[in-house]
């Protein structure tokens, strides 16, 4: 039986003490993270045994895929239909669309391969907003310092500087592409001021949003622009099975799986951009996830087998406010916009226990501490804490219906009135902090291979600030797309195949790792799709 305070008792305690007074964390942050953050628990990681990052700590669920053999061999691609293009972009979310648009507008012929449908990605699930230092009381330096501090000073300063310096231009570009943003009160559409809110861990109000579905609005604009752009060939439902190489070790495109026809397709390219997203559907440490169905670490697996270096692959972000009850909504998020607007976190005693606008790693660990130490709230065997949305509505009448639209819809799906009853929440696996090592231009170190978005590492260190993910996918999508177009104009790949696999298989054998394990996964196990046996038939 899960320990904690029964829901009826906790509800009574919340009502008796509402509104609960702010309360500072009563444990030093390093001790809190060491004791309660999932990444820092005993036996959380294993060392990688092969590849360019051998010896690095890695979550076991991910290491199993990074230690695997390829899904295809030379015989599988012999005679496969072939597409030749200048730039191949793998991934149909925000970063992929931005990279494809930028490369095409630079004059490149672009093929954009998606695993699911165009736009089915984590981008559409980003609710809170996008950070950019555009306010008169803010600066690029403050955004830079906030980002480094939130990431425990583990981020690559050159990457962070590139991200932050692109911020204002990214917002202008998005507005030009047709994306809407909320305006400050009293503004009009002809000359308004962007509404800015203060995200967790920030020293200034720099979070720009569109209600509480900013990522969905961004993806709408990007998807429309991509579909209308000349020079882009869309390959819907074509997940990547393996990257291709030429006889000089350059990345030369990818072997794709056409899900509709059940066949392999070769896409040969002068430059390839990986924008495949993260690894949430691996359910690290057994957590539910907010990630979309295709988030199975494919890009990490493919880039690593080609020789790319990885970093911070033992570090994942757990969004503090995932739904804990009802169980059919596990993994759904209550946007950080609620806490940015003033919603409090309350334990089963009716007390607050952390600054709700601290960084996500701290807030998530503080919630898990309340649950572990018995101050959590238990309902039908599911434990969490309260997010006090009724208190927010009481303080700011009308905010739930006007600004937090997605939250209100989510409450209805949960069968509750968010203005009268608090959400029961607990942390949910949300983001992959690490990934492929890149330079500020998006290049991976493997000739011909660039990366953008969540598949990359170095920007966020060991914890990502809210709003920096949407900024990253545009800033580095543009950088990777621009440089991929330039690289594709250089020397073209020749003698294209799977030449890198022989050395990879030798390294697996040398470490007594089985060749029978195959990756990438493509879809989570509960999808009942076998990437080996199902390749020969339509899906």
Main-chain dihedrals φ then ψ at residue 20, nearest 5 degrees:
-65, 145
Helix ranges, 106-213 (H)? 140-150, 157-176
Q: What is the CB neighbour count within 10 angstroms for residue 376?
A: 26
**Alpha helices for 106-207 (secondary structure H):** 140-150, 157-176
β-bridge pairing 251-258 and 263-274 = antiparallel
β-partners of residue 383 are: 378
CA distance 173 to 183: 17
User: What is the rounded distance in angstroms from the CA atom of residue 307 to the CA atom of residue 500?
Assistant: 9
Catalytic residue annotation: 319, 339
Nearest alpha carbon to residue 458 among 477, 472, 471? 472
Residues 6+ apart with CB under 8 A from 115: 91, 92, 237, 238, 239, 240, 276, 294, 298, 522
| Structural contact between residues 86 and 231, judged by C-beta atoms closer than 8 angstroms | no
Long-range contacts (CB closer than 8 Å, 24 or more residues apart) made by 390-397: 390/18, 390/418, 390/419, 390/420, 390/421, 390/422, 391/18, 391/19, 391/20, 391/343, 391/344, 391/422, 392/338, 392/341, 392/342, 392/343, 392/344, 393/418, 393/419, 394/19, 395/19, 395/342, 396/341, 396/342
Residues 6+ apart with CB under 8 A from 530: none
Q: Where are the beta strands (DSSP E) in 236-392?
A: 240-245, 251-258, 263-274, 310-311, 316-325, 344-346, 377-379, 382-388
Residues 311 and 417: their CA atoms lie apart, in Å, by 43
């Amino acid at each position: 039986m899960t320990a904690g305070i029964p829901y009826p008792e906790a509800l009574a305690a919340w009502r008796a003490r509402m509104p609960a007074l702010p309360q500072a964390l009563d444990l030093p942050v390093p001790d809190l993270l060491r004791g309660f953050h999932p990444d820092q628990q005993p036996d959380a990681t294993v060392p990688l045994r092969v590849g360019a990052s051998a010896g690095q700590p890695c979550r076991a669920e991910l290491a199993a895929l990074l230690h695997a053999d390829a899904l295809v061999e030379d015989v599988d691609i012999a005679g496969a239909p072939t597409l030749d293009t200048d730039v191949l972009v793998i991934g149909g979310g925000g970063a992929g669309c931005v990279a494809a648009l930028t490369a095409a507008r630079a004059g490149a012929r672009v093929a954009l391969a998606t695993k699911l449908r165009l736009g089915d990605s984590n981008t559409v699930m980003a609710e809170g907003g996008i950070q950019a230092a555009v306010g008169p009381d803010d600066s690029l330096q403050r955004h830079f310092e906030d980002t480094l501090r939130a990431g425990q000073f583990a981020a690559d300063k050159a990457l962070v500087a590139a991200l932050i310096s692109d911020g204002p231009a990214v917002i202008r570009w998005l507005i030009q592409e047709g994306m809407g943003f909320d305006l400050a009160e009293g503004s009009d559409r002809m000359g308004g001021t962007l509404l800015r809110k203060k995200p967790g861990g920030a020293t200034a109000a720099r979070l720009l949003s569109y209600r509480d579905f900013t990522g969905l609005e961004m993806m709408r604009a990007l998807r429309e622009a991509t579909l209308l752009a000349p020079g882009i060939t869309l390959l819907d439902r074509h997940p990547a099975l393996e990257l291709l190489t030429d006889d000089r070790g350059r990345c030369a495109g990818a072997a794709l799986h056409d899900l509709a026809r059940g066949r392999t397709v070769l896409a040969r390219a002068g430059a390839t951009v990986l924008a495949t997203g993260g690894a949430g559907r691996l359910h690290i440490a057994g957590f539910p996830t907010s990630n979309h169905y295709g988030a199975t670490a494919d890009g990490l697996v493919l880039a690593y087998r080609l020789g790319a270096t990885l970093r911070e692959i033992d570090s994942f972000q757990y969004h503090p406010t995932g739904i804990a009850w009802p169980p059919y909504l596990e993994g759904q998020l209550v946007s950080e916009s609620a806490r940015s607007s003033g919603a409090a976190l309350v334990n089963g005693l009716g007390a607050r226990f952390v600054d709700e606008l601290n960084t996500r790693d701290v807030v998530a660990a503080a919630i898990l501490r309340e649950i572990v130490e018995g101050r959590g709230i238990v309902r039908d065997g599911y434990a969490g804490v309260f997010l006090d949305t009724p208190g927010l509505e009481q303080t700011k009448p009308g905010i739930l219906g006007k600004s937090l639209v997605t939250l209100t819809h989510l409450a209805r799906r949960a069968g509750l009135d968010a203005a009268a009853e608090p959400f029961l929440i607990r942390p949910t696996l949300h983001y992959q902090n690490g990934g492929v090592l890149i330079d500020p231009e998006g290049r991976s170190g493997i000739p011909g291979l660039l990366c953008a978005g969540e598949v990359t590492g170095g920007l966020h260190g060991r914890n990502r600030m809210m709003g920096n993910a949407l900024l990253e996918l545009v800033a580095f999508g543009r950088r990777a797309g621009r440089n991929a177009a330039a690289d594709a104009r250089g020397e073209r790949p020749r003698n294209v195949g799977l030449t890198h696999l022989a050395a990879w298989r030798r390294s697996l054998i040398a470490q007594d790792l089985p060749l029978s394990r195959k990756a990438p996964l493509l879809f989570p196990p509960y999808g009942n799709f076998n990437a080996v046996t199902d390749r020969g038939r339509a899906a």
